[in-house]
């Protein structure tokens, strides 16, 4: 994506500043891509850097299709251990691991037409062809462990019993704001910046 610059007038004349830098100064960061080791590390670096500056609120805007669970959980863990309260804002779609990260906000806001999507984790380990039954079983057990971890997080953050979370995550389940609020996913709708 091309960098967008803002031109503003100061006592030194007209200056150009990257829009990402401008928003960063206002303690706003964006997670607007697939979650992978690179995007997770960038998000974590920004969270930690802002937390070192002050313990004021950080706003994390999320528009993500999800991605790597371990990378996403690293972001979640960072949100949990920094001192600054993090408000998560769903813009567009926070799906899969993006939704789990969204749930870690102290305040969880959604834009009017945004959606949250929850589902079970899927096998991303490649081709099972040529694998022996015990190898397949080992991978399936690892996937079940990941599922249990995510169900526990969703249950804790929403206040819903694990059985209900298991039922909801069997398939892709989409939540608009009203459904998300009812299920305990979102706290309020974003009405102004």
Catalytic residue among 119, 122, 134, 155: 119
- Burial (CB count <10 Å: 0-12, 13-18, 19+), residue 22: middle
Catalytic residue among 64, 71, 96, 114: 96
Report the alpha-carbon distance of residue 58 to residue 50 in Å, rounded.
8
DSSP 3-state of 124: coil
Q: 16 an active-site residue?
A: no
What is the chain's percent helix, strand, coil content, to nearest 5?
Answer: 45, 25, 30
Q: 155 an active-site residue?
A: no
Place of tokens 């937390």: 51
Question: Which of the residues are catalytic?
Answer: 96, 119
């Amino acid at each position: 994506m091309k960098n967008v610059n803002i031109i503003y007038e100061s006592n030194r004349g007209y200056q150009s500043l990257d829009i990402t830098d401008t928003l960063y100064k206002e303690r706003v960061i964006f997670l607007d891509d697939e979650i992978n080791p690179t995007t997770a590390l960038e998000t974590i670096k920004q969270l930690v850097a802002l937390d070192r500056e002050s313990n004021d609120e950080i706003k994390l805007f999320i528009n993500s299709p999800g991605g790597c669970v371990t990378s996403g959980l690293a972001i979640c863990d960072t949100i949990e251990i920094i001192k600054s309260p993090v408000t998560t804002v769903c813009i567009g779609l926070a799906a899969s691991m993006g939704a789990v990260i969204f749930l870690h906000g102290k305040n969880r806001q959604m834009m009017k037409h945004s959606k949250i999507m929850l589902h079970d984790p899927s096998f991303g380990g490649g081709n099972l062809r040529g694998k022996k039954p015990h190898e397949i079983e080992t991978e399936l057990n690892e996937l079940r462990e990941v599922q249990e971890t995510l169900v526990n997080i969703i249950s804790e953050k929403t206040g819903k019993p694990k059985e209900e979370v298991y039922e909801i995550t069997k398939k892709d389940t989409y939540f608009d704001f009203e459904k998300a609020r009812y299920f305990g996913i979102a706290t309020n709708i974003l009405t102004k910046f």
